[in-house]
Amino acid sequence: MRRKLGVIRMTPLISAALIIVFLGVHPSWRQPSEALPGLPAVWAATPEGELTAAEEVIILVYQEVGPAVVNITSTAMVYDFFFNVVPRQGAGSGFFIDERGYIITNNHVVEDARRLEVTLASGKKVSARLIGRDPFNDLAVIKIDVPDEKFHIVRLGDSDQLRVGQMAIAIGNPFGLDRTVTSGVVSSLDRTLRADNGREIRGVIQTDAAINPGNSGGPLLNSRGEVIGINTAIFSPSGGSVGIGFAIPINKVKRIVPQLITKGRVSHPWLGISGLTLTPEISRTLSLPVKQGVLVVRVTRRSPAARAGIRGGKRRIRIGNTILRVGGDVLVGVDGQEIKSMRGLIAYFDDQKRVGQTVELEILRDGLRIMITTTLGELPKELS
């Protein structure tokens, strides 16, 4: 459908859609009808003037959760074109998770902020302080102290039970428009996003509920009013919503937030290597007996890998247009599981292991397979 001088150009698809609309207002089409077999009753015709079941769900969820959603304004100091230090304001959303005034939001909403201000549902503006943040998963916790204020608290759901197609409701402050609600469905599950620091956020929820700048940090909810995710990003060639939004699953948030509150950061398990995912081309060039695994390029000094004696690359070669550091160990397994990529190795550590736990690594060295055991350390702060 294209507009030119006020004229809407018709395509066969649009013409058919208009025929359906016109038929829909014919008196014979106004009679109540039963839902099709297998479909919920919400799709049955609703008497004129009454709300559908879906509308009632969205209204109830908004009434219950809306007061728990806040508008967050951050002020950071940046350099302008002439290298003068000037304040820059950003805005996002967040929501209360307990009566003490703790608020969950995105890391990118509060990162580098010199000052944070929260606007409550009542319109009251309160200064907030940063409690902790995790750039790896784009999560942060802030807190306000208002002794005489009773906070509305959200209920957390179970993102592991989500199914594609179920209702998804987003509440936030897009473009500064307080407590806006949009709805859609869970479009897909287990997506992967890349955080600002280059690390991947796995298991992300995709939704077509409209999410725009300012929605970041707000809740994505199911039809029971439970938080199933935190809205964090959109895919958009135009900068606005095109129906592809992403939310961090709430079960990941449940694991991370307690650490943010108690320590101000998250302890990520760390082996201490830089690695390259093997490809068939690299494997052939190096005459390796394996076609998948992680080629160890570099080992960080005094890291768990260094203490275990893992070896990095010793010489440089060119493969195509890429110069690689080769000659190091090849990781092919961890704790009895095959390792197919560097991404898979990091995912295993993040999802299955904790700092201080022991791992058994299967390594290919000079054509021989050997087993090495080491204890995972904590990712240094300067690398996070």
As annotated, the active-site residues are 108, 138, 216
How many residues comprise the chain? 384
Strands (E) located in 97-199: 102-105, 115-119, 125-134, 139-143, 155-156, 167-172, 180-194
Strands 139-143 and 102-105: antiparallel
Cβ 308 vs Cβ 374: under 8 Å: yes
Contact criterion met (CB below 8 Å) for 248 and 139: yes
Return the closest-CA partner of residue 258 out of 139, 90, 382: 139
Q: Write the DSSP string, 270-281.
A: E--EEEEE--HH
101 forms beta bridges with: none
Cα–chain center distance at 304: 29
* 101 Cβ neighbours under 8 A, 6+ residues apart: 143, 144, 145, 146, 149, 151
Whether the Cβ atoms of residue 86 and residue 78 lie closer than 8 Å to each other: yes
Each as own residue / partner, the long-range contacts of residues 356-363 (CB below 8 Å, 24 or more positions apart, any chain) are 357/269, 359/271, 359/334, 359/335, 360/334, 360/335, 360/336, 361/308, 361/310, 361/331, 361/333, 361/334, 362/331, 362/332, 362/333, 362/334, 363/310, 363/329, 363/330, 363/331, 363/332
User: How far is 81 from 358, CA to CA, in rounded Å?
Assistant: 50
Taking the C-alpha atoms of residue 230 and residue 204, their distance in angstroms, rounded to an integer, is: 10
| Amino acid at the residue 144 | I
Residue type, 367: G
